[in-house]
Amino acid sequence: MIGTHAEVWKNCLSVIKDNVHPQSFKTWFEPIVPIRIENKVLTIQVPSQFFYEWLEEHYIDLLKKTIRKELGPDGRLEYSIIMDNTSGPNGPFAVNYPTSNHYATKNPYVSMPIDLNRGTSKDIPNPFIIPGLKKIKVESQLVESYSFDNFVEGECNRLARSAGFAVAENPGKTAFNPLLVFSSTGLGKTHLAHAIGLQAKHNFPEKTVLYVTTEQFINQYTESARNKNINDFVHFYQMIDVLIIDDIQFLTGKDKTQDVFFHIFNHLHQNSKQLIITSDKPPVELKGMEPRLLSRFKWGLSADLQAPDYETRVSILKKKLYNDGIQIPAEVINYLAQAINSNVREMEGALISLIAQSSLNKKAITLELARQMIDKFVKHTTKEISIDYIQKVVCDYFGLPIDQLYAKTRKREIVQARQVAMYFSKKHTKHSLAVIGLHCGNKDHATVLHACRTVANLVETDKQFRVFVSDIDRKITQ
Ligand code: ADP
Ligand code: MG
Protein backbone atom coordinates (compact mmCIF):
# COMPACT_ATOMS: atom_id res chain seq x y z
CA MET A 1 0.00 0.00 0.00
CA ILE A 2 1.54 3.26 -1.15
CA GLY A 3 0.95 6.41 0.88
CA THR A 4 -0.12 9.81 -0.37
CA HIS A 5 2.33 11.99 -2.26
CA ALA A 6 3.00 13.95 0.89
CA GLU A 7 3.77 10.84 2.90
CA VAL A 8 5.96 9.34 0.22
CA TRP A 9 7.94 12.50 -0.16
CA LYS A 10 8.27 12.88 3.58
CA ASN A 11 9.77 9.42 3.79
CA CYS A 12 12.11 10.22 0.92
CA LEU A 13 13.22 13.38 2.66
CA SER A 14 14.08 11.58 5.83
CA VAL A 15 16.43 9.32 3.88
CA ILE A 16 17.86 12.19 1.87
CA LYS A 17 18.47 14.22 4.97
CA ASP A 18 20.81 11.58 6.31
CA ASN A 19 22.76 11.56 3.10
CA VAL A 20 23.45 15.17 2.27
CA HIS A 21 25.05 18.12 3.94
CA PRO A 22 22.50 20.04 6.06
CA GLN A 23 23.05 23.23 4.10
CA SER A 24 22.53 21.39 0.81
CA PHE A 25 19.43 19.80 2.21
CA LYS A 26 18.05 23.19 3.11
CA THR A 27 18.97 24.68 -0.23
CA TRP A 28 17.96 21.97 -2.61
CA PHE A 29 15.36 19.79 -0.90
CA GLU A 30 13.36 21.93 1.46
CA PRO A 31 11.94 24.09 -1.34
CA ILE A 32 10.58 21.05 -3.17
CA VAL A 33 6.83 20.51 -3.00
CA PRO A 34 5.35 17.08 -3.73
CA ILE A 35 2.24 17.49 -5.85
CA ARG A 36 0.85 14.13 -6.82
CA ILE A 37 1.41 10.45 -7.10
CA GLU A 38 -0.04 8.47 -9.98
CA ASN A 39 0.86 4.99 -11.14
CA LYS A 40 3.98 4.97 -9.06
CA VAL A 41 5.12 8.25 -10.50
CA LEU A 42 5.78 10.88 -7.88
CA THR A 43 5.66 14.43 -9.21
CA ILE A 44 7.59 17.06 -7.34
CA GLN A 45 7.51 20.75 -7.96
CA VAL A 46 10.83 22.61 -8.15
CA PRO A 47 11.27 26.38 -8.23
CA SER A 48 13.10 26.67 -11.55
CA GLN A 49 14.68 24.97 -14.50
CA PHE A 50 18.03 25.55 -12.95
CA PHE A 51 16.96 23.83 -9.78
CA TYR A 52 15.87 20.80 -11.75
CA GLU A 53 19.17 20.66 -13.60
CA TRP A 54 21.08 20.93 -10.40
CA LEU A 55 19.13 18.07 -8.81
CA GLU A 56 19.61 15.92 -11.87
CA GLU A 57 23.28 16.65 -11.95
CA HIS A 58 24.05 16.15 -8.30
CA TYR A 59 21.41 14.11 -6.60
CA ILE A 60 19.93 11.86 -9.20
CA ASP A 61 21.37 8.66 -7.75
CA LEU A 62 20.18 9.46 -4.29
CA LEU A 63 16.75 10.44 -5.59
CA LYS A 64 16.43 7.27 -7.64
CA LYS A 65 17.38 5.10 -4.72
CA THR A 66 14.96 6.67 -2.31
CA ILE A 67 12.11 6.66 -4.80
CA ARG A 68 12.64 2.96 -5.49
CA LYS A 69 12.79 2.27 -1.82
CA GLU A 70 9.44 3.98 -1.37
CA LEU A 71 7.63 3.02 -4.55
CA GLY A 72 9.26 -0.23 -5.58
CA PRO A 73 11.56 -0.98 -8.53
CA ASP A 74 9.31 0.67 -11.11
CA GLY A 75 8.79 3.81 -9.08
CA ARG A 76 9.60 6.99 -10.97
CA LEU A 77 10.06 10.64 -10.35
CA GLU A 78 8.77 13.53 -12.39
CA TYR A 79 9.46 17.21 -12.02
CA SER A 80 7.11 20.07 -12.41
CA ILE A 81 9.03 23.27 -12.93
CA ILE A 82 7.70 26.66 -11.93
CA MET A 83 8.45 28.80 -14.95
CA ASP A 84 8.49 32.11 -13.20
CA ASN A 85 11.40 34.41 -13.49
CA THR A 86 13.50 33.59 -10.47
CA SER A 87 16.44 35.62 -11.58
CA GLY A 88 14.64 38.93 -11.52
CA PRO A 89 14.47 41.45 -14.30
CA ASN A 90 17.32 39.80 -16.09
CA GLY A 91 15.26 37.02 -17.61
CA PRO A 92 15.93 33.39 -16.98
CA PHE A 93 19.49 32.82 -15.99
CA ALA A 94 21.78 30.91 -18.22
CA VAL A 95 23.54 27.90 -16.89
CA ASN A 96 26.59 26.37 -18.37
CA TYR A 97 29.01 23.91 -17.03
CA PRO A 98 32.58 24.96 -16.82
CA THR A 99 35.03 23.44 -19.18
CA SER A 100 36.94 20.98 -17.11
CA ASN A 101 40.26 21.75 -18.61
CA HIS A 102 42.50 20.48 -15.91
CA TYR A 103 45.78 20.72 -17.69
CA ALA A 104 48.57 21.51 -15.35
CA THR A 105 49.63 25.08 -15.31
CA LYS A 106 52.32 26.14 -13.00
CA ASN A 107 51.58 29.28 -11.20
CA PRO A 108 54.31 31.75 -11.72
CA TYR A 109 56.12 32.39 -8.51
CA VAL A 110 54.67 35.54 -7.26
CA SER A 111 54.90 37.84 -4.41
CA MET A 112 52.89 40.82 -3.47
CA PRO A 113 55.01 43.02 -1.30
CA ILE A 114 52.47 45.74 -0.89
CA ASP A 115 49.30 46.16 1.00
CA LEU A 116 46.24 46.27 -1.25
CA ASN A 117 44.30 47.59 1.62
CA ARG A 118 45.25 51.21 1.43
CA GLY A 119 41.89 52.72 0.75
CA THR A 120 40.55 53.31 -2.70
CA SER A 121 42.42 56.40 -3.70
CA LYS A 122 44.36 56.57 -6.91
CA ASP A 123 47.67 55.81 -5.26
CA ILE A 124 47.12 52.12 -4.69
CA PRO A 125 50.33 50.49 -5.72
CA ASN A 126 50.35 47.56 -8.01
CA PRO A 127 50.65 44.04 -6.76
CA PHE A 128 54.09 43.52 -8.24
CA ILE A 129 55.37 40.14 -8.84
CA ILE A 130 59.00 39.50 -8.55
CA PRO A 131 59.85 36.44 -10.62
CA GLY A 132 61.97 33.97 -8.78
CA LEU A 133 60.71 34.86 -5.37
CA LYS A 134 58.77 32.40 -3.33
CA LYS A 135 55.02 32.64 -3.40
CA ILE A 136 53.95 34.66 -0.45
CA LYS A 137 50.63 35.05 1.15
CA VAL A 138 48.23 37.35 -0.60
CA GLU A 139 46.26 39.60 1.68
CA SER A 140 42.68 38.59 0.89
CA GLN A 141 41.15 41.91 1.91
CA LEU A 142 38.21 40.10 3.43
CA VAL A 143 36.18 41.65 6.21
CA GLU A 144 35.57 39.10 8.98
CA SER A 145 32.20 40.48 10.00
CA TYR A 146 30.80 40.05 6.50
CA SER A 147 30.34 36.35 7.11
CA PHE A 148 27.58 33.96 6.11
CA ASP A 149 26.63 33.77 9.77
CA ASN A 150 25.93 37.47 9.75
CA PHE A 151 24.12 37.42 6.43
CA VAL A 152 20.45 36.95 7.20
CA GLU A 153 18.70 34.62 4.82
CA GLY A 154 15.38 35.62 3.30
CA GLU A 155 13.28 35.16 0.22
CA CYS A 156 15.09 38.20 -1.18
CA ASN A 157 18.48 36.53 -1.30
CA ARG A 158 17.81 32.80 -1.27
CA LEU A 159 19.18 31.91 -4.67
CA ALA A 160 22.23 34.15 -4.50
CA ARG A 161 23.02 33.02 -1.00
CA SER A 162 22.67 29.32 -1.78
CA ALA A 163 24.70 29.62 -4.93
CA GLY A 164 27.32 31.57 -3.00
CA PHE A 165 27.46 28.90 -0.36
CA ALA A 166 27.78 26.18 -2.97
CA VAL A 167 30.64 28.09 -4.57
CA ALA A 168 32.44 28.39 -1.25
CA GLU A 169 32.08 24.64 -0.71
CA ASN A 170 33.46 23.85 -4.12
CA PRO A 171 35.19 26.82 -5.69
CA GLY A 172 35.62 26.57 -9.44
CA LYS A 173 33.86 23.23 -9.58
CA THR A 174 30.20 24.20 -9.69
CA ALA A 175 28.07 25.47 -12.54
CA PHE A 176 28.18 28.89 -10.91
CA ASN A 177 31.32 30.15 -12.53
CA PRO A 178 31.35 33.05 -12.69
CA LEU A 179 28.82 33.77 -10.01
CA LEU A 180 27.41 37.18 -10.74
CA VAL A 181 25.44 38.84 -7.97
CA PHE A 182 23.52 41.97 -8.82
CA SER A 183 21.17 44.35 -7.05
CA SER A 184 20.69 48.01 -6.47
CA THR A 185 22.80 49.59 -3.80
CA GLY A 186 22.74 48.68 -0.13
CA LEU A 187 21.19 45.24 -0.50
CA GLY A 188 24.13 43.08 0.48
CA LYS A 189 26.25 42.39 -2.61
CA THR A 190 29.51 43.31 -0.95
CA HIS A 191 28.57 41.47 2.21
CA LEU A 192 27.70 38.30 0.32
CA ALA A 193 30.85 38.52 -1.79
CA HIS A 194 32.99 38.66 1.35
CA ALA A 195 31.00 35.84 2.93
CA ILE A 196 31.78 33.59 -0.02
CA GLY A 197 35.45 34.52 0.15
CA LEU A 198 35.66 33.94 3.90
CA GLN A 199 33.90 30.60 3.67
CA ALA A 200 36.06 29.45 0.75
CA LYS A 201 39.17 30.40 2.67
CA HIS A 202 37.90 28.60 5.71
CA ASN A 203 37.17 25.45 3.70
CA PHE A 204 40.34 25.60 1.64
CA PRO A 205 43.05 27.39 3.59
CA GLU A 206 45.62 26.59 0.90
CA LYS A 207 43.70 28.44 -1.78
CA THR A 208 44.47 32.04 -2.61
CA VAL A 209 41.35 34.12 -2.19
CA LEU A 210 41.32 37.78 -3.19
CA TYR A 211 38.64 40.42 -2.87
CA VAL A 212 39.15 43.60 -4.87
CA THR A 213 36.91 46.45 -5.77
CA THR A 214 36.74 47.22 -9.45
CA GLU A 215 38.14 50.62 -8.61
CA GLN A 216 41.24 49.04 -7.09
CA PHE A 217 41.57 46.77 -10.07
CA ILE A 218 41.42 49.70 -12.46
CA ASN A 219 43.90 51.73 -10.45
CA GLN A 220 46.32 48.85 -10.27
CA TYR A 221 46.02 48.34 -13.95
CA THR A 222 46.61 52.01 -14.71
CA GLU A 223 49.61 52.03 -12.45
CA SER A 224 51.06 48.94 -14.04
CA ALA A 225 50.55 50.41 -17.50
CA ARG A 226 52.43 53.50 -16.40
CA ASN A 227 55.23 51.44 -14.96
CA LYS A 228 55.27 49.16 -17.97
CA ASN A 229 54.70 46.00 -15.98
CA ILE A 230 51.29 44.91 -17.17
CA ASN A 231 52.54 41.34 -17.43
CA ASP A 232 53.25 41.29 -13.74
CA PHE A 233 49.81 42.61 -13.02
CA VAL A 234 48.22 39.91 -15.17
CA HIS A 235 50.34 37.17 -13.66
CA PHE A 236 49.43 38.22 -10.20
CA TYR A 237 45.74 37.91 -10.94
CA GLN A 238 46.18 34.68 -12.83
CA MET A 239 47.45 32.91 -9.78
CA ILE A 240 44.39 33.65 -7.67
CA ASP A 241 42.14 30.67 -6.93
CA VAL A 242 39.05 32.58 -5.90
CA LEU A 243 38.81 36.05 -7.35
CA ILE A 244 36.08 38.38 -6.14
CA ILE A 245 35.54 41.59 -8.08
CA ASP A 246 33.09 44.01 -6.54
CA ASP A 247 31.06 46.56 -8.50
CA ILE A 248 32.02 45.52 -12.00
CA GLN A 249 29.79 48.26 -13.43
CA PHE A 250 32.74 50.61 -12.95
CA LEU A 251 34.50 48.75 -15.72
CA THR A 252 32.02 50.02 -18.28
CA GLY A 253 33.67 52.23 -20.84
CA LYS A 254 37.17 51.25 -19.67
CA ASP A 255 38.18 49.37 -22.78
CA LYS A 256 41.78 48.64 -21.93
CA THR A 257 41.08 47.43 -18.43
CA GLN A 258 38.25 45.30 -19.80
CA ASP A 259 40.62 43.79 -22.26
CA VAL A 260 43.09 42.75 -19.61
CA PHE A 261 40.30 41.55 -17.36
CA PHE A 262 39.03 39.43 -20.22
CA HIS A 263 42.37 37.63 -20.41
CA ILE A 264 42.53 37.14 -16.69
CA PHE A 265 38.97 35.87 -16.67
CA ASN A 266 39.66 33.35 -19.41
CA HIS A 267 42.78 32.06 -17.76
CA LEU A 268 41.09 31.61 -14.41
CA HIS A 269 37.98 30.06 -15.85
CA GLN A 270 39.91 27.61 -18.00
CA ASN A 271 41.85 26.52 -14.99
CA SER A 272 38.71 26.00 -12.95
CA LYS A 273 39.40 28.95 -10.71
CA GLN A 274 36.38 30.64 -9.22
CA LEU A 275 35.19 34.11 -10.18
CA ILE A 276 32.64 36.03 -8.18
CA ILE A 277 31.46 39.30 -9.63
CA THR A 278 29.02 41.86 -8.30
CA SER A 279 27.22 44.53 -10.24
CA ASP A 280 24.63 47.16 -9.55
CA LYS A 281 22.81 46.19 -12.74
CA PRO A 282 21.87 42.97 -14.43
CA PRO A 283 24.40 42.06 -17.12
CA VAL A 284 22.08 43.07 -19.96
CA GLU A 285 22.01 46.62 -18.68
CA LEU A 286 25.76 47.04 -18.44
CA LYS A 287 26.14 49.49 -21.27
CA GLY A 288 29.68 50.03 -22.40
CA MET A 289 30.83 46.55 -21.48
CA GLU A 290 32.44 44.51 -24.22
CA PRO A 291 30.02 41.90 -25.58
CA ARG A 292 32.62 39.16 -25.25
CA LEU A 293 32.92 39.89 -21.55
CA LEU A 294 29.18 40.05 -21.09
CA SER A 295 28.77 36.74 -22.81
CA ARG A 296 31.28 35.22 -20.42
CA PHE A 297 29.36 36.55 -17.45
CA LYS A 298 26.48 34.45 -18.71
CA TRP A 299 28.52 31.26 -18.54
CA GLY A 300 27.74 30.90 -14.90
CA LEU A 301 24.86 32.08 -12.81
CA SER A 302 23.45 35.56 -12.41
CA ALA A 303 21.48 35.90 -9.22
CA ASP A 304 19.91 39.04 -7.89
CA LEU A 305 19.33 40.34 -4.40
CA GLN A 306 15.95 41.92 -3.83
CA ALA A 307 14.97 44.34 -1.11
CA PRO A 308 14.27 42.26 1.99
CA ASP A 309 10.72 41.87 3.24
CA TYR A 310 9.64 43.15 6.62
CA GLU A 311 10.46 39.98 8.58
CA THR A 312 13.91 39.79 7.05
CA ARG A 313 14.53 43.44 7.85
CA VAL A 314 13.61 42.81 11.45
CA SER A 315 15.96 39.81 11.58
CA ILE A 316 18.78 41.85 10.08
CA LEU A 317 18.36 44.55 12.73
CA LYS A 318 18.15 41.97 15.50
CA LYS A 319 21.27 40.22 14.32
CA LYS A 320 23.16 43.48 14.19
CA LEU A 321 22.05 44.43 17.69
CA TYR A 322 22.84 41.00 19.02
CA ASN A 323 26.33 41.13 17.52
CA ASP A 324 26.93 44.52 19.04
CA GLY A 325 25.50 43.42 22.39
CA ILE A 326 22.87 46.13 22.38
CA GLN A 327 19.29 45.80 23.49
CA ILE A 328 16.52 48.04 22.30
CA PRO A 329 12.75 47.64 22.61
CA ALA A 330 11.07 45.42 20.04
CA GLU A 331 8.66 48.18 19.05
CA VAL A 332 11.59 50.36 18.05
CA ILE A 333 13.11 47.60 15.93
CA ASN A 334 9.78 47.01 14.24
CA TYR A 335 9.34 50.70 13.65
CA LEU A 336 12.76 51.03 11.99
CA ALA A 337 12.11 48.00 9.82
CA GLN A 338 8.84 49.53 8.74
CA ALA A 339 10.14 53.03 8.14
CA ILE A 340 13.06 52.10 5.90
CA ASN A 341 12.22 49.39 3.46
CA SER A 342 14.33 49.55 0.38
CA ASN A 343 17.92 49.71 1.48
CA VAL A 344 19.60 47.70 4.22
CA ARG A 345 22.51 50.09 4.48
CA GLU A 346 20.17 52.98 5.21
CA MET A 347 18.27 50.94 7.72
CA GLU A 348 21.48 50.08 9.53
CA GLY A 349 22.53 53.71 9.29
CA ALA A 350 19.32 54.76 10.98
CA LEU A 351 19.87 52.22 13.73
CA ILE A 352 23.40 53.44 14.34
CA SER A 353 22.29 57.08 14.43
CA LEU A 354 19.61 56.16 16.89
CA ILE A 355 22.06 54.43 19.18
CA ALA A 356 24.50 57.31 18.85
CA GLN A 357 21.78 59.89 19.61
CA SER A 358 20.61 58.08 22.68
CA SER A 359 24.08 57.68 24.12
CA LEU A 360 25.08 61.25 23.30
CA ASN A 361 21.99 62.77 24.85
CA LYS A 362 21.73 60.14 27.54
CA LYS A 363 18.16 59.41 26.50
CA ALA A 364 16.61 55.98 26.46
CA ILE A 365 15.90 54.52 23.05
CA THR A 366 12.17 54.89 22.74
CA LEU A 367 9.69 54.85 19.93
CA GLU A 368 9.40 58.59 20.28
CA LEU A 369 13.13 59.14 19.84
CA ALA A 370 13.13 56.78 16.86
CA ARG A 371 10.30 58.75 15.25
CA GLN A 372 12.07 62.08 15.65
CA MET A 373 15.28 60.67 14.34
CA ILE A 374 13.73 58.97 11.33
CA ASP A 375 12.03 62.18 10.34
CA LYS A 376 15.41 63.84 10.15
CA PHE A 377 17.31 60.87 8.93
CA VAL A 378 15.16 59.88 6.04
CA LYS A 379 15.22 63.39 4.67
CA HIS A 380 18.93 63.87 5.10
CA THR A 381 19.98 60.53 3.91
CA THR A 382 22.30 60.79 0.96
CA LYS A 383 21.03 58.61 -1.78
CA GLU A 384 23.25 57.18 -4.42
CA ILE A 385 22.89 59.50 -7.40
CA SER A 386 22.66 57.84 -10.79
CA ILE A 387 23.02 59.28 -14.27
CA ASP A 388 19.40 58.36 -14.96
CA TYR A 389 18.27 60.26 -11.90
CA ILE A 390 20.27 63.32 -12.89
CA GLN A 391 18.76 63.24 -16.36
CA LYS A 392 15.31 63.09 -14.89
CA VAL A 393 15.89 66.07 -12.61
CA VAL A 394 17.40 68.13 -15.43
CA CYS A 395 14.57 67.32 -17.85
CA ASP A 396 11.94 68.03 -15.20
CA TYR A 397 13.59 71.33 -14.51
CA PHE A 398 13.66 72.43 -18.12
CA GLY A 399 10.26 70.86 -18.86
CA LEU A 400 11.64 68.51 -21.52
CA PRO A 401 10.60 64.92 -22.16
CA ILE A 402 13.52 62.73 -21.16
CA ASP A 403 13.83 60.96 -24.52
CA GLN A 404 14.78 64.28 -26.10
CA LEU A 405 18.13 63.96 -24.36
CA TYR A 406 18.94 60.95 -26.50
CA ALA A 407 17.58 62.48 -29.71
CA LYS A 408 19.85 63.53 -32.52
CA THR A 409 19.03 67.18 -32.50
CA ARG A 410 20.88 70.45 -32.35
CA LYS A 411 18.06 72.40 -30.77
CA ARG A 412 19.71 74.74 -28.37
CA GLU A 413 17.63 73.99 -25.29
CA ILE A 414 18.11 70.27 -25.74
CA VAL A 415 21.82 70.51 -26.33
CA GLN A 416 22.09 72.63 -23.22
CA ALA A 417 20.01 70.28 -21.08
CA ARG A 418 22.17 67.40 -22.24
CA GLN A 419 25.31 69.33 -21.36
CA VAL A 420 23.98 70.13 -17.93
CA ALA A 421 23.10 66.47 -17.37
CA MET A 422 26.62 65.48 -18.41
CA TYR A 423 28.14 68.09 -16.14
CA PHE A 424 26.23 66.83 -13.11
CA SER A 425 26.90 63.21 -13.97
CA LYS A 426 30.59 64.00 -13.85
CA LYS A 427 30.16 65.91 -10.62
CA HIS A 428 27.95 63.47 -8.73
CA THR A 429 28.76 60.00 -10.01
CA LYS A 430 31.92 57.97 -10.27
CA HIS A 431 31.33 57.14 -13.91
CA SER A 432 33.93 57.87 -16.54
CA LEU A 433 33.38 60.42 -19.28
CA ALA A 434 32.91 57.56 -21.73
CA VAL A 435 30.12 55.99 -19.71
CA ILE A 436 28.42 59.31 -19.16
CA GLY A 437 28.53 59.88 -22.92
CA LEU A 438 27.01 56.48 -23.56
CA HIS A 439 24.09 57.27 -21.30
CA CYS A 440 23.54 60.70 -22.76
CA GLY A 441 22.67 59.90 -26.34
CA ASN A 442 25.72 57.82 -27.22
CA LYS A 443 28.25 60.64 -27.25
CA ASP A 444 31.98 60.13 -26.94
CA HIS A 445 34.12 61.18 -24.02
CA ALA A 446 35.40 64.30 -25.79
CA THR A 447 31.84 65.58 -26.14
CA VAL A 448 31.27 65.05 -22.42
CA LEU A 449 34.49 66.83 -21.58
CA HIS A 450 33.46 69.72 -23.80
CA ALA A 451 30.04 69.82 -22.13
CA CYS A 452 31.58 69.94 -18.65
CA ARG A 453 33.84 72.83 -19.67
CA THR A 454 31.01 74.71 -21.38
CA VAL A 455 28.78 74.46 -18.33
CA ALA A 456 31.61 75.47 -16.00
CA ASN A 457 32.34 78.51 -18.21
CA LEU A 458 28.71 79.54 -18.34
CA VAL A 459 28.42 79.28 -14.59
CA GLU A 460 31.31 81.73 -14.37
CA THR A 461 29.98 84.18 -16.92
CA ASP A 462 26.20 83.96 -17.05
CA LYS A 463 24.28 84.94 -13.95
CA GLN A 464 20.96 83.45 -15.02
CA PHE A 465 22.61 80.20 -15.97
CA ARG A 466 24.35 80.09 -12.60
CA VAL A 467 20.93 80.22 -10.93
CA PHE A 468 19.69 77.33 -13.08
CA VAL A 469 22.68 75.24 -12.24
CA SER A 470 22.54 75.80 -8.52
CA ASP A 471 18.77 75.12 -8.50
CA ILE A 472 19.31 71.85 -10.27
CA ASP A 473 22.21 70.92 -8.04
CA ARG A 474 19.99 71.42 -5.01
CA LYS A 475 17.28 69.26 -6.51
CA ILE A 476 19.71 66.50 -7.36
CA THR A 477 21.26 66.35 -3.93
CA GLN A 478 18.26 67.06 -1.76
P1 ADP B 1 25.77 46.56 -1.59
O2 ADP B 1 27.16 46.06 -1.82
O3 ADP B 1 24.74 45.79 -2.33
O4 ADP B 1 25.63 48.04 -1.81
P5 ADP B 1 26.36 45.93 1.15
O6 ADP B 1 26.84 44.52 1.02
O7 ADP B 1 27.39 46.97 1.37
O8 ADP B 1 25.42 46.32 -0.07
O9 ADP B 1 25.28 45.95 2.34
C10 ADP B 1 24.92 47.12 3.03
C11 ADP B 1 24.80 46.82 4.51
O12 ADP B 1 23.66 46.00 4.70
C13 ADP B 1 25.98 46.06 5.04
O14 ADP B 1 26.30 46.54 6.33
C15 ADP B 1 25.51 44.63 5.13
O16 ADP B 1 26.13 43.93 6.18
C17 ADP B 1 24.02 44.80 5.39
N18 ADP B 1 23.22 43.71 4.84
C19 ADP B 1 22.70 43.63 3.59
N20 ADP B 1 22.02 42.50 3.43
C21 ADP B 1 22.09 41.83 4.60
C22 ADP B 1 21.60 40.58 5.08
N23 ADP B 1 20.86 39.78 4.30
N24 ADP B 1 21.87 40.23 6.34
C25 ADP B 1 22.61 41.03 7.14
N26 ADP B 1 23.11 42.21 6.76
C27 ADP B 1 22.87 42.62 5.51
MG1 MG C 1 28.86 47.09 -2.47
Quote the pTM value.
0.60
CB of 316 within 6 A of ligand 1: the answer is: yes
- Beta-carbon neighbours within 5 Å of ion ligand 2: 189-190
* Residue 5 CA to ligand 1 centre (angstroms): 40
Ligand located closest to 181 CA? 1
CB of 271 within 6 A of ligand 1: the answer is: no
* Residue 77 CA to ligand 2 centre (angstroms): 42
Mean pLDDT (10-residue bins), the chain, 478 residues:
89 90 78 89 81 78 89 87 46 26 27 33 37 60 95 95 96 95 96 98 96 95 93 92 97 93 95 97 88 90 94 96 88 92 88 82 87 71 76 93 88 93 92 88 91 94 92 88
Whose Cα sits closest to atom 18 in ligand 1?
188
Question: pLDDT per residue over 393-451, tens digit each?
Answer: 999 999 999 888 888 888 999 999 999 999 999 998 888 888 899 888 889 999 999 99
Give residues with Cβ within 8 angstroms of 231, minimum separation 6: none
pLDDT attached to residue 375: 76
